Structure 1
């Protein structure tokens, strides 16, 4: 029930061959805690199981989760995001102001004006972002229609499921490709942790790995792509 808090920084390798397999992503294991940690692994696996995703990656905050997802896929100065305008204030500030300083343009649209949402997508758009229920305005996102629009244009639908949690709604069931949480809220329940996790859906579904516009192409691992190395967990591995 109570998982130990591993304060490990680096880990022991049985031998050089084992270390090589870890660094080449040919074997699962631990290298540095900034990549993976046994305590985090339990959290990540539980969240992935709750959401029905293929994997998860825990970071330090909700904004960190959103930033990790976007920055892993964006090319500063050239890429764009389309987001619904019913968003948590901190998220809106991140997208409208902080991302702008990175050169990433975010177009905010009424999430129920589907024609306007689709019209805002262009060849530079790399994601469609929404919340299951807008915080604090309680606007409910039509994930099915938003996912159809996103996948028509070959981009992933990214959904913040903080307000609903997978207990009430699982965005993957409605076509989402990536789900993010701020765990400080309902998942934590008592305001103790400040952390978050983006999750990815299995790769045989929709935009995230099906789209050549958004697939993580090359790593520094002998010229292999993350899709080759991690398959449905390509985004998690890249993050």
Structure 2
């Protein structure tokens, strides 16, 4: 490099190479390693990377910024390893494809993100993978009855969308263990600050890191966290790709990594080959967001409880589905599993139906009308015309989605300002309902 700096090389050579040898430093903030690949000091170092996964070679298979965020997330979820991906949906896809083969079967909660439901009902069936759905997520017998000999995973959300039902994680994990299959929990709504499913027996946790983990609506990302408790004696026959050699004479992943075999497979074989690699910049934003996760979620949960109680007293509101309210059917389960609050995403239904809902979302000013959640800002969405638009009316109603239902994600703003904006929306909804009645009478 000294020859380049001394001007002994040509202009084009120097414009590429001079300054690339950065002096070592110890930044307090997580540095952003913006590079497609990384150099090796020796042939032995390259061999150690490709043969044993040591160090970093190419950002699709590993990046220092990404790795730092993965380590933090694994710790917060009480897991053994984490894999950061480009989106929450990528996390769900990679987690499932790391477990199932053609002809496999999945048992899922009926109360899940519609994108995940589409994956299970439309995409995976084309690869010969079928799914059945359980409505009562807290009923072990319902899950047990849906399991078949070819079932390879159970899937559910810790706090469901949209009824705010709570998964009985310990009970359903026990059912999964009976059959030697993993329970995968989407913990996006709760975050590890409120509940850590692995501590209650779940095998795998996934998140849309774009939501609460990032917290500011600036970055897309997803994460898979593995418990590191794969049991080959119990489940090896169901997952031969983990217990049988990938090549003649080679050791199996189980022989090499033991209980971490599933996590290693997801990291080394599934994620890099499918290619949903997160950028170092998005990993940085997610890492920055995580540093204030507990502060935000605690404040958002406090605000949400105050909002839910306030809405529950309003005549314009027919019902409030928030597990923090005593009247919610899963309130006791919520108190058992959720520590530090009941979350900040829930639905409420206006008495005036769609017309009232439309007037509400168009009148509020503090609430942003958008398909997102977990932001520092308060958000609102009308599920019947957006996320659940392709579900039948009976299906929507079974999920707690009616023409007047609105989903809110409560932010960190002053609660008095949130309530004032909600009051503005309810006034508009009330006027719209009154106009509709007068029109009907005319």
> Could you state the TM-score of these two structures normalised by the residue count of structure 1?
0.91
Q: CA 1:220–1:8 in 2, change beyond 3 Å: closer, same or farther? A: farther
2:115 matches 1:93: no
State how far apart, in whole Å, the 2-side matches of 1:73 and 1:188 are: 27
State how far apart, in whole Å, the 1-side matches of 2:56 and 2:142 are: 45
1:96 CA displacement: 1.5
1:116 CA displacement: 2.5
2:194 matches 1:163: no
**Residues 1-239 of structure 1: pairs in structure 2 closer than 5 A:** 2-25=29-52, 28-76=54-102, 78-110=103-135, 111-203=137-229, 210-212=234-236, 213-214=238-239, 216-217=242-243, 218-219=245-246, 223-239=250-266
1:163 CA displacement: 0.5
Name the stretch that deviates more: 188-197 or 206-215. Answer: 206-215
State how far apart, in whole Å, the 1-side matches of 2:45 and 2:66 are: 22
Name the stretch that deviates more: 96-105 or 157-166. Answer: 96-105
The structure richer in helix per residue is 2
**Aligned-partner SS, 1:24:** helix
- Structure 2: segments with no counterpart, 5+ residues: 1-27, 267-442
State how far apart, in whole Å, the 2-side matches of 1:190 and 1:138 are: 23
Higher relative CO (CA 8 A, sep ≥ 6), structure 1 or 2? 1
1:88 CA displacement: 1.5
- Structure 1: segments with no counterpart, 5+ residues: none
**Aligned-partner SS, 2:144:** helix
1:112 CA displacement: 2.9
State how far apart, in whole Å, the 2-side matches of 1:58 and 1:234 are: 17
State how far apart, in whole Å, the 2-side matches of 1:208 and 1:96 are: 30
Cα-Cα RMSD: 2.0
Aligned residue pairs total 235
The answer as to whether partners of 2:154 and 2:176 remain within 8 angstroms in 1 is: yes
The answer as to whether partners of 2:100 and 2:152 remain within 8 angstroms in 1 is: yes
> Which entry has the higher C-alpha Rg, 1 or 2?
2
State how far apart, in whole Å, the 2-side matches of 1:194 and 1:232 are: 30
State how far apart, in whole Å, the 2-side matches of 1:166 and 1:142 are: 16
The answer as to whether partners of 1:161 and 1:180 remain within 8 angstroms in 2 is: yes
The answer as to whether partners of 2:232 and 2:254 remain within 8 angstroms in 1 is: no
State how far apart, in whole Å, the 2-side matches of 1:209 and 1:47 are: 28
The answer as to whether partners of 1:177 and 1:207 remain within 8 angstroms in 2 is: no
The answer as to whether partners of 2:226 and 2:263 remain within 8 angstroms in 1 is: yes
Q: Deviations over 1:144-181 (max 9, x none)?
A: 11001000000011111100001000001110000001
